[in-house]
Structure 1
């Protein structure tokens, strides 16, 4: 697992960018997902980013296409709409990564909606659940990425 402050940014083949971030409006908190065409991502201070490509848990995800995606949703607070809290990305290498709202608390995953965790182990992701969701962070429903859209 890997803790992430507020957003994970994936640089894709061809220069496009996939961003997964914590978002909030009032009491409503969710995992926002954006796909930006090369050059369209708003400029940020390079010091705001940490390059994780050298960390071993990220290696199976580097340079391989994303072939599927799945999401888990929940109702964050009474009266709020159903929102995404976890996103699983499946890669052509057979590896998967789950990005979810949460943090590490005493060595265990805990729900904290203003930060993210990257989970690389299927069992850990299946065990990570929120009382406000019918699905685990593993995100049981999968959508395949269209073959004409390379997200590697």
Structure 2
């Protein structure tokens, strides 16, 4: 693997500290960032088990906010994890939709984050990049944020959009062609 500072695997390794910082903390808010031309709710209010988001998912705890978004560096597309202190989060979510009260997020609000799972994908030059992140909550509930979009109600890999998948079976089924693991991924040991 290449070790350039601009490679997505290095961006992911930088994000490990952000993920570590939210384990054991309760979720206090969730926002979806969408472009102005996106439909208002993309079916979120229907209690769907998959939400489509065209820009970013913003999840906050009492002390940390993590932003999950599509990113491209040197031709490599990946799911990026950016952490910001909560006092800086307001600027980052100014154009976002509050989805904390929508099912199934409403059932995860105030739940503690227990850990994470990751799904990586290879590229042509041997660089691995994150394409899906599973967030596990105390009490066995999980949600997966993965690159992709819905086509005919079915997850399809389109790396410039995000899918928020609440159904474990769907997350276990959804897979990138070249990846060896589904969006459910493998446990990340922090």
The alignment's TM-score, normalised by the length of structure 2, stands at: 0.69
Deviation string 1:30-74 (CA, Å, 9 cap, x unpaired) is 00012222324482462x201111211112221111111011000
**Aligned match for 1:90, one of 128, 136, 141:** 136
Would you say 1:78 and 2:144 are equivalent positions?
no
Instruction: Give the drift of 1:94.
Output: 2.1
2:105 matches 1:58: yes
Which of 52, 56, 62 is the aligned partner of 1:7? 56
Query: For residue 135 of structure 1, what is the aligned residue in structure 2?
Result: 181
Alpha carbon RMSD of aligned pairs, Å? 1.7
Q: Which sits farther off after the overlay, 25-34 or 106-115?
A: 25-34
Distance 1:61 1:132, change over 3 A: same
Unaligned stretches of 5+ residues in structure 1: 145-152
Contact 2:117 2:188 in 1 (8 A): yes
How many corresponding residue pairs? 141
> 1:67-118, CA deviations, whole angstroms, 9 ceiling, x for partnerless residues?
110110002x422611000000001132100000000001100000000000
- The worse-fitting range, judged by mean Cα deviation, of 97-106 and 23-32 is 23-32
Cα distance in 1 for partners of 2:154, 2:86 equals 37
Higher relative contact order (CA 8 A, sep 6+): 1
TM-score (norm 1): 0.85
Which of 115, 121, 131 is the equivalent residue of 2:167?
121
3-state SS of paired residue (2:115): strand
CA distance in structure 2 between the aligned counterparts of 1:80 and 1:91, rounded to whole angstroms: 32
Alignment of 1:19-38 (within 5 A): 19-38=67-86
List structure 1 segments (4+ residues) > 3 angstroms apart after TM superposition: none
